Structure 1
Amino acid sequence: MMNGLEGTKENLVLGIDIGTRNVVGTVGYRTDEGKFVVVAQTVREHVTRAMLDGQIHDIGRVAQVVSLVKEELEVQINQPLTEVCIAAAGRVLKTVTCRAEYIYPEESVVTGEDIHTLDLIGVEKAQDLLSEKNDTNYKFYCVGYSVVKSYLNDDLFTSLEGHKANKIAEDIIVTFLPEDVVDGLYSAVGQAGLSVANLTLEPIAAINVAIPENYRMLNIALVDVGAGTSDICITKEGSITAYGMIPHAGDELTEEIVQQYLVDFQMAEHIKLSSTVDEEVTYEDIMSIKHTVSAEEVWELTDKVVDRITSEVAEKIIELNGGQTVSATFVVGGGGKVHGFTKKLAEYLDLPEERVALRGEEVLKEVTFLQDDIKKDPLLVTPIGICLNYYDQKNNFIMIRFNGERMKLYDNNRLTIVDAALQAGVSNEKLFPRSGKALNFTVNGNKRIVRGGVGEPAVITLNGKPANINTPLEPNCNVEIIPSTKGEEAKYTINDLEEYTTAFMTFIVNGRLINCPKFLEVNGVLEPSSYEIQDGDIIENRGFYTVEQVAEFMDVEVDLDEDIYVNNRIASMDSLVYENFSIEWTVKEYHVENASYYASEEQIKERKYQESLRGASIGLGNYHMMSEEKNATLEGQTEAIQDENINSKEQQNISKSENNDEELYFDVEYKDCDNFDETFDEEYEKTDEYNSIFRKENPREEGVDLEISYDLKKNLDEDKDSSYNVNHGENDEAEEEKEIIVTVNNNPVTLTDKNSYVFVDIFDKINFDLNNSKGRGIVTTLNGRDARFTEEIHTGDKIEVYWKEM
């Protein structure tokens, strides 16, 4: 069969009506004027009862009959046939009525494609509604639909195409049949060498021929009486409003004849059909005895069955029509030709006899038959309607293989792999990668989330080639999906935290700088670095060690028979040590050589530089006396005095005074510097003051003169001035002295007497006691950002210096 039919004889469509008793094949085309031309037609009866009540029971035998019909038609038209349009009987029929809408981004002209899209929206919506209400084990497929009413911008319109609209809508009635009914039809025509081009419902096909659109303003019922089922369709106000079916039809009459006259089913069919046209019927029973009976005798025999069938058909019509009878009823199909059928149906519908009539030749006036020997008969209404339906509703299914299983999908021209996956029951979790469970906890009051591992996405192939969920499906394609995986749950240990690996505390142990990671407490309990963090944990840095913990970290064995000093005071292994405290002990054994916890050369130089800057440049005294009472308070504090904003550190080295029992503390401030002058450091190392502070092997045994001379301070200031200018080099020639004006804490400050100025110079001009910390941290900013003491300043700079509670 060729696509793109345009009304020419060569563009032919094949329609086959696979009925319970007969298989009727029709080949034809529709002209530009809308008339249908039948090029070829043939009828074949089933040899056996391969179908019951419209349901295929023996697929192989039905396929044989379909093959014979196909071959006969190919001979008549002298060309091969590969595609077919079919219709399903209304057995276990389900109907869903819903409203579909399509809103344009802006006012547009409605096209035929827009209307088709609207139809598909309605079909998909009906499928969703049916899935929600389906209380059976059947899987239903859409086999047809009819538009009840059409709306243009919410106004009722007969035809939408060509009008301008912002929104179009329609009330649509969609019919569904169980999977086994549809599968049987597809299998039968497939074995006959045909592929399905269109699938519809028999009453929909029949009504396209039997009730023209200009009749549908009336409240009319159409009954397609076949061999196994009687399909019903109701029209009103220009639309098809309902579908229905009863599983009773002509075969029940035949079975009654079988029992009464003791004949096989084929002979009973002969008796039934002959009684409708002849006065007498001759037959041979299973005992090979010939009999002759009158047609009236056959009518009397089947009268009770006809009465029961017509009463049930009438009840169904009234039910579908909202509890009231219709204005008229048309009957099509071979079963409707049985004597007395239309008369009794009229009685039960409470209609005049003339308003219930067979529709055959009179409804086929618009159909042209090229074969002279074809008689226009109600039996031909449905197969011709099947062909016509091809032009109006291309309802079709495509067959695919999904993970090795055969699957049928309703083809809405937009099918993708995800549609197949959803119909197969594959959940979204198996299509998309899933992250493992995340880990939520807090560190120093800040919320942290560690994401779980990312799973692997689903591996999707179409016909063996890589694809994705949006890849369009093709008929008979092979889809394989390996489900996605879930990532591992998030795992995190104390050792993975930056607060543990990069946050250090510095102690002075036997005169050497030691870097120790800050301990972390989890839910108030000290945990080792290997501790796996749990969801909801509260983690905080601890600001102190015990002497014993420092020893464990350094992996040394301390001689407990010798005194232990913390800040030059007798201590124990349980004594607390804070940032920059000094520890003196006697080591019995070192378990680690060249340990990584020793401060680097860069750290030592930075420390010395800050010492020099603090003692020589600022010259603010740096030494103060603390009573034992104050010292005890210091040891009991829970956090080291520090300021993270400027990364400064304060150290308090304690040495005994020769003259009294009070302790002398040396405050040291630490700063991160990008670089510093090596010459400056080397010169400072040569001074007696440095040697007396940092090189003294045992400062506890004799007093140390910690006062820095005025001359040394002056020399160091001069070195600083020459070393930390803009070019970070020495000036060969002295430049003229210059003056700058900066704003410090919103007050103007004038600096004079130097060629260039660094941040620390402001302390010579403002009243700010650096020793008055009282447990607070100092904040220094330059033009709104953190400042370094050695950073050069210029006129107009805005500076802030203040204490901040830790």
Structure 2
Amino acid sequence: MVKYPQHLVFGLDIGTRSIVGTVGYKERDKFNVVAQYVKEHDTRAMMDGQIHDINKVGETISIVKKQLEKQIGRQLSQVCIAAAGRVLRTVTVTTEYEFGEETLINQEHIYSLDSLGVEKAHDVIRANNDTGINFYCVGYTVVKYYLNNYIIGNLENHKANKIGAEIIATFLPEEVVSGLNTAVGIADLEVANLTLEPIAAINIAIPQVYRMLNIALVDVGAGTSDISITKDGSIIAYGMIPRAGDELTEVIARHCLIDFKTAEKIKFELGTRKKTITYKDIMGNKIKVEQKELQDMVRPMVEEVTKEIADKIIELNGGKTVSAVFVVGGGGKISGFIESLSVFLGLPKERVALRGEEVLGDVNFFQENIKKDPLLVTPVGICLNFYDQKNNFIFVNFNGERIKLYNNNRLTIVDVAIQTGFPNEELFPRRGKELNFTINGKKRMIRGQLGEAAIVTLNGNPVGINTRIEANDKIQIIGSTAGKDAELTIEKIPEYHNTIDIIVDGKKVKCPQYAQVNGQIVSNYYNIQENDDIVMRNYYTVAQILAFMDIEIEQDVELFVNNNPADLDEKVYENFSISLKKINDVDFMEEVSCVKEVSQDMEQSKMDKIESDVIVQDSSKANQSEPTQISLDVTVNNKLVTLKGKSKYVFVDIFDWIDFDLRSSRGREIVTLLNGEKAKYTQELNSLDVIEIYWKE
């Protein structure tokens, strides 16, 4: 048995009528097919390119796989497949990438640019998808590349500040792709590469050198006719119609009263040189009929299908016909198909042609008696597409569910989470709710506590969310938790200083600092709420201190702050002193008298000192004059008062010159103001001072 040391690519063309398996390897510019096997479906398990009976299709794939393994002498575990464009959606996007400085472009840059385009196309599909169906990208092609805004064929090894690309991305519904993957899974195969059938066909049927021309490729299968169009060196459009060879088979079956399988055989005989065709109908009658009669019978259906194909080509080509058409696939071999398509496209007959042997010239078939015909173009194209690795998908197990991912060879656990819609906030530790408030007019925010991080495992081992993944990895994420909401009491604010020390009647009293919240006084244990307006106070009023000490003010008690008369609203700051004096008539008179005596003693002391100086001084100074007594005019309670008999006057001297009964307090506080300010009894008076003295009611 021949041994093949090279890595072998296994490609499956899962068609509506049959499954074609191809195994081979690429050597320089040629592809070598080492094994091939075709198996028709026993039942109509597929229709219009869509799997209807997954188990039946899976069984047929198993048969093809075993036959190929027998031919090559080794087991096959991975397979490349292609999806028909039954409900194909295409999106054309333009993407750009700008470098910080002029950069030499390499393959990594180009691949990243393509990936950006595919991601952008995904966004477009999602934004315009109101069906509830998930769509997957099964392939893309680059229409144009741009180098610094100019079109260029190949970006590699050019220097540029900016590169761009126009990309056509193709999408199919999840159920189409899922059905294909499940079917190959029944045969114990894993998908190594997934592409679209028209992409696989065009890559071999229309070489790059032909793509400057406006050419359409039509892959006519049993259930679908897939279309792709080239122009100006690029593939510019993809499309399909869900009608193909089976339409003709069904017409033959109904006309001849035969089963579908017999009708399929007759359909292919219509393309041969047989003049007569013999078959047995379901009644057991052996019937012989002229081939021309059957051709005339199927012609209306041929025309109907080819007209739809022609209309689709013109639509995809911007409303006009193409320059030429290549036809591949078994359905295009029916008699009259090529001629009818050329008529509806308005092209000469020679501009529409079956492509088989012509495009398979670089393909070597190791098997004998292999005829290079249009039926083999797509299977070989599927194998060749593996080497592009543009449309590769992998499957992983995420939280117990099998997930398909577009493989850009840089997939991480984060990509899986995003693809499955796992809540982004549950990937990272979450903070509790923040607390916002205002302190002394300034806004402040306290963050909530961090919760527990997400628990991420890869194949049972703890990992980070940015860990790279591979096909068939088992990933589990247990979402992160939210931490406690932010909370704060008044005593935890930096502006809070615990106590304010105030001296009351000679004793130090520690008063707790208090806060006003939204205008209300609160304790230091108060829990701050969202949007609270907090003002920290660094003082008490006299009334607040007395209330704190449970002191009630009697009528005959006078208040002093720092030895100055004060009222209950007086503000008292750190280390201020408060005195409470119970004053009767005699007490108050004594206080005033005491002040007067002090003032007089000070005056007498000055006089005694002057006299002493006179005695010890030189006789030349003996006749020096004594201090001169002066008169001083001041205003007291809006009346002019003249003070006499002294060389200097203090505030308390006023009481000798005005009519004010100090004995009539009746518990009231006396107000003494000098030029609008609270006065001290020993404060010196000056000419024209304004004095107010009255009882505070």
SS at match of 1:326: coil
Q: Give 1:193 shift.
A: 1.9
Q: Structure 1 CA distance, aligned partners of 2:169 and 2:465?
A: 28
Q: Structure 1 CA distance, aligned partners of 2:239 and 2:331?
A: 17
Show the counterpart of 2:577.
651
SS at match of 2:358: helix
**Which one of 134, 145, 148 corresponds to residue 150 of structure 1?**
145
Q: Structure 2 CA distance, aligned partners of 1:400 and 1:501?
A: 59
1:500·1:517 contact (CA, 8 Å) conserved in 2? Answer: no
Show the counterpart of 2:606.
none
SS at match of 2:263: helix
The one-character-per-residue Cα deviations of 1:367-390 (angstroms, maximum 9, x if unpaired) are 222222101110000011111111
Q: Structure 2 CA distance, aligned partners of 1:519 and 1:446?
A: 18
Residue 75 (structure 1) aligned with residue 75 (structure 2): no
The one-character-per-residue Cα deviations of 1:109-140 (angstroms, maximum 9, x if unpaired) are 33333323322222222212222222322211
The one-character-per-residue Cα deviations of 1:772-791 (angstroms, maximum 9, x if unpaired) are 9989xxxxxxxxxxxxxxxx
**Which one of 41, 45, 48 corresponds to residue 40 of structure 2?**
45
Residue 95 (structure 1) aligned with residue 90 (structure 2): yes
Residue 362 (structure 1) aligned with residue 358 (structure 2): yes
1:430·1:458 contact (CA, 8 Å) conserved in 2? Answer: yes
Q: 2:319 is aligned with what amino acid?
A: G
Q: 1:218 is aligned with what amino acid?
A: L
2:503·2:577 contact (CA, 8 Å) conserved in 1? Answer: no
Residue 415 (structure 1) aligned with residue 435 (structure 2): no
Q: 1:221 is aligned with what amino acid?
A: A
Q: 1:72 is aligned with what amino acid?
A: Q
Residue 404 (structure 1) aligned with residue 400 (structure 2): yes
Show the counterpart of 2:333.
337
**Which one of 585, 588, 611 corresponds to residue 661 of structure 1?**
588
**Which one of 50, 54, 61 corresponds to residue 56 of structure 2?**
61
Q: 1:447 is aligned with what amino acid?
A: K
Residue 136 (structure 1) aligned with residue 131 (structure 2): yes
User: Against the structure 1 CA distance between its residues 638 and 523, is the aligned structure 2 distance closer, same or farther, given a 3 Å change threshold?
Assistant: farther
Residue 298 (structure 1) aligned with residue 230 (structure 2): no
Q: Give 1:165 shift.
A: 3.2
SS at match of 1:429: helix
1:452·1:490 contact (CA, 8 Å) conserved in 2? Answer: yes
Q: 1:570 is aligned with what amino acid?
A: V
**Aligned-residue CA RMSD (Å):** 3.1
Residue 289 (structure 1) aligned with residue 285 (structure 2): yes
Deviates more, 1:98-107 or 1:313-322: 98-107
Residue 220 (structure 1) aligned with residue 236 (structure 2): no
Contiguous gaps of at least 5 residues in structure 1: 1-7, 572-576, 582-622, 643-648, 666-701, 708-771, 776-806
Q: Structure 2 CA distance, aligned partners of 1:447 and 1:157?
A: 56
Show the counterpart of 2:504.
508
Residue 280 (structure 1) aligned with residue 261 (structure 2): no
**Which one of 193, 202, 205 corresponds to residue 197 of structure 2?**
202
2:540·2:573 contact (CA, 8 Å) conserved in 1? Answer: no
Q: Give 1:432 shift.
A: 2.7
Q: Structure 2 CA distance, aligned partners of 1:188 and 1:706?
A: 117
SS at match of 1:391: coil
Show the counterpart of 1:635.
567
- Larger relative contact order (CA 8 Å, sep ≥ 6): 2
Show the counterpart of 2:689.
none
**Which one of 343, 349, 352 corresponds to residue 347 of structure 1?**
343
Q: 2:572 is aligned with what amino acid?
A: A
Show the counterpart of 2:461.
465
Q: Give 1:332 shift.
A: 0.5
**Which one of 183, 188, 208 corresponds to residue 183 of structure 2?**
188
Residue 172 (structure 1) aligned with residue 160 (structure 2): no
Deviates more, 1:461-470 or 1:369-378: 461-470
Q: 1:12 is aligned with what amino acid?
A: L
User: Against the structure 1 CA distance between its residues 449 and 122, is the aligned structure 2 distance closer, same or farther, given a 3 Å change threshold?
Assistant: closer
Q: Structure 2 CA distance, aligned partners of 1:11 and 1:434?
A: 48
Residue 118 (structure 1) aligned with residue 50 (structure 2): no
User: Against the structure 1 CA distance between its residues 662 and 166, is the aligned structure 2 distance closer, same or farther, given a 3 Å change threshold?
Assistant: farther
Show the counterpart of 1:13.
9
Q: Structure 1 CA distance, aligned partners of 2:106 and 2:449?
A: 50
Deviates more, 1:393-402 or 1:91-100: 393-402
2:139·2:391 contact (CA, 8 Å) conserved in 1? Answer: yes
Identity %: 55
1:655·1:663 contact (CA, 8 Å) conserved in 2? Answer: no
Q: Structure 2 CA distance, aligned partners of 1:503 and 1:446?
A: 23
Q: 2:22 is aligned with what amino acid?
A: T
**Which one of 418, 422, 425 corresponds to residue 426 of structure 1?**
422
The one-character-per-residue Cα deviations of 1:663-694 (angstroms, maximum 9, x if unpaired) are 979xxxxxxxxxxxxxxxxxxxxxxxxxxxxx
The one-character-per-residue Cα deviations of 1:200-227 (angstroms, maximum 9, x if unpaired) are 1111111111111111111000000000
1:264·1:286 contact (CA, 8 Å) conserved in 2? Answer: yes
User: Against the structure 1 CA distance between its residues 365 and 24, is the aligned structure 2 distance closer, same or farther, given a 3 Å change threshold?
Assistant: same
Instruction: Give TM-score, length-normalised by structure 1.
Output: 0.69
Q: Give 1:549 shift.
A: 7.0
Residue 375 (structure 1) aligned with residue 371 (structure 2): yes
Deviates more, 1:41-50 or 1:75-84: 75-84
User: Against the structure 1 CA distance between its residues 210 and 497, is the aligned structure 2 distance closer, same or farther, given a 3 Å change threshold?
Assistant: closer
Q: Structure 1 CA distance, aligned partners of 2:521 and 2:493?
A: 15
**1:305-316 → structure 2 map (5 Å cutoff):** 305-316=301-312
The one-character-per-residue Cα deviations of 1:473-513 (angstroms, maximum 9, x if unpaired) are 2212222222223333333344544555614242426x542
Contiguous gaps of at least 5 residues in structure 2: 600-674, 679-697
Q: Structure 2 CA distance, aligned partners of 1:663 and 1:424?
A: 93
Residue 570 (structure 1) aligned with residue 562 (structure 2): no
Q: Structure 2 CA distance, aligned partners of 1:652 and 1:519?
A: 19
Show the counterpart of 2:323.
327
Show the counterpart of 2:479.
483
Q: 1:291 is aligned with what amino acid?
A: I
The one-character-per-residue Cα deviations of 1:163-194 (angstroms, maximum 9, x if unpaired) are 33333322221111111111111111122122
1:9·1:28 contact (CA, 8 Å) conserved in 2? Answer: no
SS at match of 2:367: coil
Q: 2:25 is aligned with what amino acid?
A: Y
Q: 1:304 is aligned with what amino acid?
A: P
Q: Structure 2 CA distance, aligned partners of 1:640 and 1:547?
A: 10
Q: Give 1:231 shift.
A: 0.2
User: Against the structure 1 CA distance between its residues 496 and 104, is the aligned structure 2 distance closer, same or farther, given a 3 Å change threshold?
Assistant: closer
1:67·1:192 contact (CA, 8 Å) conserved in 2? Answer: yes
Q: 1:651 is aligned with what amino acid?
A: S
**1:431-450 → structure 2 map (5 Å cutoff):** 431-450=427-446
Q: Structure 2 CA distance, aligned partners of 1:439 and 1:261?
A: 83
2:447·2:486 contact (CA, 8 Å) conserved in 1? Answer: yes
Q: Structure 2 CA distance, aligned partners of 1:527 and 1:468?
A: 47
2:142·2:168 contact (CA, 8 Å) conserved in 1? Answer: yes
Q: 1:402 is aligned with what amino acid?
A: F
Q: Give 1:91 shift.
A: 1.0
User: Against the structure 1 CA distance between its residues 131 and 502, is the aligned structure 2 distance closer, same or farther, given a 3 Å change threshold?
Assistant: same
The one-character-per-residue Cα deviations of 1:84-103 (angstroms, maximum 9, x if unpaired) are 11111111111111223344
> Aligned pairs, how many?
597
Q: Give 1:545 shift.
A: 5.7
Q: Structure 2 CA distance, aligned partners of 1:199 and 1:664?
A: 108
Q: Structure 2 CA distance, aligned partners of 1:23 and 1:449?
A: 67
Q: Give 1:74 shift.
A: 1.6
The one-character-per-residue Cα deviations of 1:544-567 (angstroms, maximum 9, x if unpaired) are 36768756x56x7x7x8xxx579x
Q: Give 1:48 shift.
A: 0.8
User: Against the structure 1 CA distance between its residues 664 and 266, is the aligned structure 2 distance closer, same or farther, given a 3 Å change threshold?
Assistant: farther
2:503·2:576 contact (CA, 8 Å) conserved in 1? Answer: no
Q: Give 1:349 shift.
A: 0.4
SS at match of 2:116: helix
User: Against the structure 1 CA distance between its residues 333 and 774, is the aligned structure 2 distance closer, same or farther, given a 3 Å change threshold?
Assistant: farther
